[in-house]
Amino acid sequence: MKSIAIIGAGMAGARACISLRANGYAGAITLLGEEDLLPYDRPPLSKASITQEGEPQPVWLLDETIARELKVDVRKGVAAIAISQGEKAVALSNGSSVTYDKLLIATGARPRTLSIAGGEHALTLRTHDDAIELRKRFAVGSSIIIIGGGFIGLELASSAAKRGCHVTVVEAQPRILMRGVPEAIARIVHARHEQAGVAVLTGVGLSHLTKAAVHLEDGRVLAADTIIAGIGAAPETTLAAMAGLAIDNGIACDQHMRTSSPDIYAAGDCASFIHVRLGNRRMRLEAWRSAQDQATTAAENMLGLARQHSSVPWFWSDQYELSLQIAGVPEMGPVTVARKPNEQTIILFHLASDGALMGASGIGPGNAIARDIKLAEMMIAKGLKPLVDVLADPGQQLKSLLKG
């Protein structure tokens, strides 16, 4: 094979370059990114980029030196605008094109926008430029209204509160973190925000926005210096759909991260895939480590290594001193067992009716839960049915359960 092209220079695109070289691929790699920057890390954008002094600086995933060492031809500031499967070529926004033997699509996701009247007044956060704009606006005493009590909304609320802003979060659902985060953990997050002075309004919809106010459905009007929407992200599938690839909640891949076209793969936020270890379910994950893991699987398969994607989903969120982590898929485990090492720390284990561990979710200060969630992740990967008494007793080492 002589050439691999990658569309999208984010986490999945960068990781694929590293993985291709680590597996001995010596041919050409062209990495196409529509942003004007080399691949950088997104998680800091809602956290350190806002809380640290000075203008946010990108945290590089693939800097000039590494790109040169890996012999990756990085084309910044150029968008892929069409894929021709027949010619095995990608047309670019600058009028040129790139041919490929294998292609990886790693186009990520884009923020959903509010469709109500005045929705254009709400800013969103996805890119380094977005973070620069928000950081400028988060001055001491300014009023920040955040629509959406998901991860972006809550991480930004925590960062804005740390900067001395007056923050309100508006969530339409009856509670924050409604999807994917168990209620017991969401309650701890909610309480911590209120302790920091953030007003968290749940179960209330929006009427409309103006430049300086959020009008709620119940008639309340909230004055705002800045309005931000953190209402979810949509997979960036436009190019793939135009090229005729199957789409199913993202670019539809099989268990090898291969799309409906044999020489085209996809990875990261834009892709859905079949998870062989978790009930052969089709899933799409919007998380940092998942993007890395999927890119690694896709890279290995582009080189003919026949790998099934089977890594256990995992993600984290940092808010204030609290770290929340989730491994596996909690919704797949209807039986919940709680472990409470101390007042501020809780870990929930989510077991299937046959006792198999399907997910673990936890929250606590600093690193308090990291080790137990890691051990739970290893148990999920092994398909273990751990002893409930040991899970529930913080005095007993979870490590003992790994023996099977």
Q: Of 173 and 308, which has the nearer Cβ to ligand NAP?
A: 173
Q: Could you tell which of ligand NAP, ligand FAD, none binds residue 330, using a CB distance below 5 to 8 A set by kind?
A: none
Which residue in the shown chain puts its C-beta closest to ligand FAD? 10
C-beta of 9 vs 167, nearer to ligand FAD:
9
Q: Which of the listed partners (ligand NAP, ligand FAD, none) does 35 bind, with a CB threshold of 5 to 8 Å by partner kind? A: ligand FAD
Looking at residues 60 to 79 of the shown chain, list those that interact with ligand FAD (rule: CB under 6 A): 79
Work out how close the CB of 286 gets to ligand NAP at its nearest, in angstroms, rounded to a whole number. Answer: 3
Q: Does 4 bind ligand FAD (CB under 6 A)?
A: no
- How many of the other CB atoms lie within 10 Å of CB of 238? 13
DSSP states of 146-214: EE--SHHHHHHHHHHHHTT-EEEEEESSSSTTTTTS-HHHHHHHHHHHHHTT-EEEES--EEEEETTEE
Token reading at 403: 């023996």
Dihedral angle sign, alpha carbons of residues 73, 77, 79, 84: negative
Among 31, 146, 152, 267, binds ligand NAP (CB under 6 A): 152
Residue 152 found at the interface with ligand FAD (CB under 6 A): yes
Give the residue, chosen from 1, 28, 34, 222, that forms a contact with ligand FAD under the rule CB under 6 A.
34
Estimate the share of the chain in helix, then strand, then coil, as percent rounded to the nearest 5.
Answer: 30, 30, 40
CA distances to 65, 233, 237, 238, 314 from 109, in Å = 27, 6, 8, 11, 18
> Nearest Cα to 190, choosing from 174, 205, 206, 204?
174
Nearest distance, CB of residue 3 and ligand FAD, angstroms = 17
Using the rule CB under 6 A, which residue among 151, 314, 320, 349 binds ligand NAP? Answer: 151
Burial of residue 28 (number of CB atoms within 10 Å: 0-12, 13-18, 19+): middle
Q: Nearest-CA neighbor of 362 among 383, 336, 386, 382?
A: 336
Bridge-based pairing of strands 345-351 and 357-365 is antiparallel
- Of 230, 240, 233, 231, the C-alpha closest to 8 is 240
The window from 27-35, 157-165, 170-178, 235-243 that contacts ligand NAP (CB under 6 A) reads: 170-178
In the bound state with ligand FAD, the residue whose beta carbon lies nearer, of 80 and 401, is 80
| Contact window for ligand FAD (CB under 6 A) among 28-36, 173-181, 194-202, 349-357 | 28-36
Q: How distant, in Å, are the alpha carbons of 25, 91, 265, 297, 301 from that of 85?
A: 23, 11, 12, 22, 19
Question: Distance between CA 357 and CA 380 in Å, rounded?
Answer: 6
List 38, 92, 109, 209, residue binding ligand NAP (CB under 6 A):
109
316 lines the binding site for ligand FAD (CB under 6 A): yes
CA distance 1 to 261: 17
- What's the min distance (Å) between Cβ of 1 and ligand NAP? 32
CB of 373 to ligand NAP, least distance (A): 14
Among the residue ranges 181-189, 309-317, 383-391, 394-402, the one whose residues contact ligand FAD (CB under 6 A): 309-317
Beta carbon nearer to ligand FAD, 175 or 289: 289
231 is a site residue for ligand NAP (CB under 6 A): yes
Q: Which residues bind ligand FAD (CB under 6 A)?
A: 7-13, 32-35, 42-43, 45-46, 79-80, 106-109, 125-126, 152, 236, 239, 268-270, 286-288, 291, 315-317
